[in-house]
Structure 1
């Protein structure tokens, strides 16, 4: 830990070594505040060559929200980790709270294309790596100057000049391997306008930032960049955002720097390039940690037409559901994949093999399997300790709404006939007013069951006890379950369906099987126990944009 702390502090320290030269007292003593609004100002220093960028706020009020969550065990672990970090930093003569926190404003980083390599210098085993550039706001010049005096005595540096500005090269000694051998890692910094520290993994990246500061095109000059940086990810209490203003340009840059990427079929690359730009944000709100990713799409390349779902099928599932994926229109996904397979020989071969396999059972994969899956669907894992499921603790269910029940019934009849040829007993059982077909395997019992919940909704249950739960509908449904509502209710609506995971119900299963040598360590267990659940959804207003939202729902702080 001490080694890591020394490296972290040294990197931050070298970023302000050159600050000792400027006259801090002759300028305003306060600079960038470090909140989310600082991204636009920092982006003016990022070269337009950047293939992606990110901004992390250092506003303590934004991050303080996380302190409202966590079990007592998780809080103790967090406090212990912070204490160890502070102790290791103290050994190096630094205090984060006193020496670093007061002056560090928002941090923007960018990934730049690798430096050009001459063919004679290139090695097959040594691919050129992208370069990292960081722009750190100085929100308190006096605090930065005081820290500089401490760092200046501990790090070896040398200065060069570029376009009237000083670039400081610092040599940081770090451990290179487990035997304790060390290596010298250079880093480069410059002070811009006495408000920003520029840190680069190479001298060239810092020079590019200076060029931008002097008037060369910045990240904001890229088409669409200013808009996505201004709008951000539309989150409450944003703590970090990541931007890709030119997604196709990023793909092209990766291809040039990585020979393996060049092997990807052109059509596959074209499908990736349907994304024009993207912004991803993370925020901390009353529910937990939330992520939103918004992609601006090229409608000419977007082959899938989004359709929202009303999620009515969730009401057919029991409150004991521990995980769920639901959505709309499996048939349209299948059609889109068939259309794309024309450009991908491997996919076309795989689909052809699947069609041949189902043809042996006298089933047409396109017309008799996927064609009738035109409504909402759900795939669920449901807690159960009855019968065969006592060993696993859960079973599974597939539920489909369809407008073509005739084709669906025909397919299930063919599957029943196929099962009979495989030494499986196929029998009927009435559960209340509903008839269920079960596949009974010798010495195991009913492993699969299927039936109709109403004239439009068919289900397949993995485990007979799950069929009983689905058809009787005794007790609460998942839709009315408090945990489900807490974990999913704040997600945007309408949407294309949910991914849902109840962590408490999942941990019951994890603790059941994770014993002895496979037991979860106390730290991981404390972290997982602080999570209420995970939910995710996707929306799309039209073919020009798509948004994904995910919530890590956390338990409120307890004493």
Structure 2
């Protein structure tokens, strides 16, 4: 959204309520209340052409749940940020969000309408510049619907705003409704109060007019095919802060990218891929573990080519407890097969795959069979701290662990790689670690650069750095899946699932490379000190549904 359209919300809220103040007090205060506190009620005022909508609750109990988290320093930082925001939006210091706005504002819905094409007269093209197609110049089109839960407080606020300086306003009539145009610093905002229960705001007059048409009986976002079902169901999160609704994902992406100077027109093949996703609904909430995000994508089973398979989760037990980051999943070979199949419709992708095949073929390696073909079981990549050998400068190394039903091919591939390393004058040596035979690629005076070996009959690992090979092969402490940190971050995520993304924030901050990136900003450190970790997973209960869940695990505040 252009900057000129992005800062209209707060001034417009007040200016629009001047309209409410001009309505007879009795009519306004005694009028119908409407459903100002729910997403469905707000969606009934949004035109059916809306591409997506976000509903933000103003329920103080839901937001107060956040106060149970964070260090005292982090809470002070957030409080100061809110105070600074209030001062920026109300520069004269006469208006307070807590006292003047919070008492009357119900839920807020932000709808994204199809972009408006800029008229030729509005284009300012420098002389000598190449011609730019007018239909490619578009502006963001936003409509905000604010529920009014306390009309008396809203009217008092409107009266208070009449004393504000530097704001020019004028009224116009559209279908019997008063539209207020407010201009501040040359930036116009259009607003209207409908049914005495909702305040509508937009940077474009046309958006408000279309909302009035919807109010008068034209089709709404609430009745739109694909939207009504996700609006009524939403996403089940505790203490919901926001819900996001996308009734037609492919159309939304197409509309928002068509006309963008930064993005090319979507090719038919890409659009066909997008059509796999029919609709998306997501929710953000707060529970005892932290901030949780859930999303549900409704898929077209005829177009969805990927064969999902849940992951047993056993692979996590192969990593030591000090692993600070991990990505796990199942069936890399199936994902590769799907990618190869889809590349047939994308010449550029197909060319890139052929180039990759050609490059590894020089080393007598078949990319499809020797690399991806045997990766048919569970897998995980983990980052593990270490300050020894080749890892001393970065402070960590990594390990890839694979379960496979084709050990013969995996061993043959690793032998080919060892022989290739020998040609490059790298010393190949064998070492026994915890009773396991491990092959190392050694660098003089620095130890092992890479190591690989078998943890059991079906599980192979490849480690970056000798110390990481030791940590994987000869664990003397408990495994990652039994650690308190991993349980706290991933234990409440949905099961079964396709694998995890896991990040332990406390351990991550101790890694020298990471610490050097954040140590210069004290505010960043303050916020990170309140975060325990990040967990993410995905599930597909059937071919027509994909579910995502993320948890930002937060530390409880000191009692």
**Alignment TM class, shorter chain as reference:** over 0.9
Pairwise CA distance, 1:105: 0.7
- Could you tell me which residue of structure 1 aligns to residue 495 of structure 2? 493
Instruction: Spell out, residue by residue over 1:245-283, the C-alpha distance to the aligned partner (whole angstroms, 9 max, x if none).
Output: 111221332354336655332101210121111112111
Query: Residues 393 and 33 of structure 1: is their aligned pair in 2 closer, same or farther, counting only changes over 3 Å?
Result: farther
- Could you tell me which residue of structure 2 aligns to residue 81 of structure 1? 81
Structure 1 spans left out of the alignment, 5+ residues: 174-183
Matched, 1:328 2:330: yes
- Could you tell me which residue of structure 1 aligns to residue 11 of structure 2? 10
Indicate conservation of the 8 Å contact 1:30/1:141, yes or no. Answer: no
- Could you tell me which residue of structure 2 aligns to residue 171 of structure 1? 183
- Could you tell me which residue of structure 2 aligns to residue 141 of structure 1? 151
Pairwise CA distance, 1:378: 0.3
Distance in 2 between residues matched to 1:91 and 1:46, nearest whole Å: 33
Which residue, out of 441, 444, 459, partners 1:442?
444
Distance in 2 between residues matched to 1:450 and 1:256, nearest whole Å: 48
TM-score, structure 2 as length reference: 0.92
Query: Residues 506 and 151 of structure 1: is their aligned pair in 2 closer, same or farther, counting only changes over 3 Å?
Result: same
Pairwise CA distance, 1:318: 0.3
- Could you tell me which residue of structure 1 aligns to residue 454 of structure 2? 452
- 1:13-24 correspondence runs (5 A): 13-24=14-25
- Could you tell me which residue of structure 2 aligns to residue 179 of structure 1? none
- 1:104-253 correspondence runs (5 A): 104-116=105-117, 124=132, 127-154=137-164, 155-173=167-185, 184-253=186-255
| RMSD of Structure 2 on Structure 1 (CA) | 2.3
Pairwise CA distance, 1:512: 7.0
Indicate conservation of the 8 Å contact 1:425/1:439, yes or no. Answer: yes
**SS at 2:58 equivalent:** coil
Indicate conservation of the 8 Å contact 1:114/1:130, yes or no. Answer: yes
Indicate conservation of the 8 Å contact 2:452/2:463, yes or no. Answer: yes
Query: Residues 511 and 456 of structure 1: is their aligned pair in 2 closer, same or farther, counting only changes over 3 Å?
Result: closer
Query: Residues 117 and 33 of structure 1: is their aligned pair in 2 closer, same or farther, counting only changes over 3 Å?
Result: closer
Instruction: Spell out, residue by residue over 1:74-99, the C-alpha distance to the aligned partner (whole angstroms, 9 max, x if none).
Output: 12212333344456648331121221
Distance in 2 between residues matched to 1:17 and 1:402, nearest whole Å: 69
TM-score, structure 1 as length reference: 0.92
Distance in 1 between residues matched to 2:265 and 2:192, nearest whole Å: 39
Indicate conservation of the 8 Å contact 2:36/2:42, yes or no. Answer: no
Which residue, out of 409, 424, 427, partners 1:425?
427
- Could you tell me which residue of structure 1 aligns to residue 128 of structure 2? none
Query: Residues 271 and 6 of structure 1: is their aligned pair in 2 closer, same or farther, counting only changes over 3 Å?
Result: closer
Structure 2 spans left out of the alignment, 5+ residues: 126-131
Which sits farther off after the overlay, 203-212 or 228-237? 228-237
Pairwise CA distance, 1:21: 2.8
Indicate conservation of the 8 Å contact 1:29/1:140, yes or no. Answer: no
Pairwise CA distance, 1:23: 3.5
**SS at 2:441 equivalent:** strand
Distance in 2 between residues matched to 1:364 and 1:58, nearest whole Å: 57
Distance in 1 between residues matched to 2:172 and 2:198, nearest whole Å: 18
Instruction: Spell out, residue by residue over 1:111-153, the C-alpha distance to the aligned partner (whole angstroms, 9 max, x if none).
Output: 1113355667667287111311011011011111111111123
- Could you tell me which residue of structure 1 aligns to residue 540 of structure 2? 540
